[in-house]
Amino acid sequence: MRRGRQEPGWLRGAPPPRWTRFAPVVALVVLVFAQRATPGTVELGFFLAALPPVAAFSYGATGTAVFAAAVLVLLGVPALGVGNARGTDLATVATVGLLSVVIAWVRRRRDAQLVSVRTVAEAAQLAVLPPVPEQVGRVRCSGLYRAAQRGTLVGGDLYDVRAGPYGVRAVVGDVQGHGLAAVGTVASLLGAFREGVLDDAELGAVAARLDRRLVEDSAGVEHAELFATALLLEFPPGRNLVRVVSCGHPPALLLRGPTAEEVAVEPGAPLGLGLAGVAPPAVADVQVRPGDRLLLHTDGVTEARDAAGYFYPLRGRVPVVCLPGDPPAAVVAAVWRDLEAFTGGGPRDDVAVLVLSVPVLP
């Protein structure tokens, strides 16, 4: 499963690119040869004083100290033909070198702290929304998640696929807001869904459980306005059909051969409004055939715009970018590539895509 977009590794506390370690060495060699090749009236050697601060961005304190010492020797020994620093000039270069060593030491400590913090944060986010397995029961799965907030793995969208005593069940949802502020609601909904997979015999009861979870979370919070849309699916054991419940969520697409059609189901109210017990959402039964795939998504896909302001036409694009026999993983990858190209780099909202396929029983 693909996750949120990441910054380059050297901005995340990982070791810097190899070229950044070679750059100070190359610059030192070039400056030395350039100084020796120029007339004595041209002073290039003092450019060497800038190398220790540059080295501090890619080397530790020891490596930076080596650069600083090399610069002091080159500038302070006239016989080398590079520089002729004396007195305050040499003291200034030494001070710059010492500060560069301190900067390198502090940077290394901060990098280590950043790696530790990010490791813990990613582990916590993956605990909330773990990767979807390639297969759950008899259902083959593939998912893609892109969080709108840079550097995060979980935002305001959610999905999960679980097997239970009543078959394999899946959910795709979109909570109010996005980014880290919505992660708590995502965790509550996923926890309620996983309980419903095991305990609730009817798919509508699972939706009611999710609705009740949000209502309880909103209790006592002034102007909470906490709600979410969701699409729930159930693959009952021993039957060639899928049950679908919509709680105000964009419809799933049924990919059958070269066509993509919306799964017809009467949408119910969004979760969190306290209406599940009064007006339970309708349950639609959809017969599946060999080769059928179901594509579930959040509105971050269909509301993505191109440079001209047009929405991404998912239903029309899927038959173009996918082949009838493509497995779920290939469908997800093709849709994301096309969406990136359409938007010029990817949507700015949370995006979730889940593709499911079921081998038809004989």
Contact between residue 100 and residue 126 where contact means Cβ atoms under 8 Å apart? no
- What pLDDT score does 151 carry? 64
- What pLDDT score does 224 carry? 57
Question: Averaged in consecutive runs of 10 residues, what is the pLDDT profile of the chain (362 residues)?
Answer: 47 60 81 75 74 86 88 79 76 88 90 78 73 92 85 79 95 78 83 95 93 82 73 93 94 93 91 72 90 94 93 95 92 95 88 90 65
d(CA 265, CA 249): 11
d(CA 246, CA 257): 24
Contact between residue 232 and residue 169 where contact means Cβ atoms under 8 Å apart? yes
d(CA 246, CA 269): 8
DSSP state of 284: E
d(CA 97, CA 53): 7
Contact between residue 356 and residue 293 where contact means Cβ atoms under 8 Å apart? yes
Contact between residue 100 and residue 51 where contact means Cβ atoms under 8 Å apart? no
DSSP state of 1: -
- What pLDDT score does 229 carry? 93
| Three-class secondary structure of residue 54 per DSSP | helix
For residue 5, how many other CB atoms are within 10 A of its CB? 15
pTM: 0.73
As to burial, measured by CB atoms within 10 angstroms (0-12 exposed, 13-18 middle, 19+ buried), residue 11 is exposed
Question: Given the DSSP bridges, would you call strands 157-164 and 167-175 parallel, antiparallel or unpaired?
Answer: antiparallel
Q: What is the pLDDT of residues 71-127, one digit of tens each?
A: 888 887 777 777 777 788 788 888 888 999 999 999 888 888 888 777 776 777 677
Residues 6+ away with beta carbon under 8 Å from 62:
none
Which helix or strand (DSSP H or E) is residue 103 part of? helix 87-128
Question: Given the DSSP bridges, would you call strands 167-175 and 228-235 parallel, antiparallel or unpaired?
Answer: antiparallel
Residue in 135, 49, 127 with CA at minimum distance from that of residue 94: 49
What token pair was written down for 150?
Answer: 């840079």
Residues 6+ away with beta carbon under 8 Å from 12:
6, 114, 115, 118, 151
d(CA 58, CA 107): 9
Helices 314-321 and 328-343: angle between axes, nearest 10 degrees: 120
What token pair was written down for 93?
Answer: 């270069």
Residues 6+ away with beta carbon under 8 Å from 95:
none
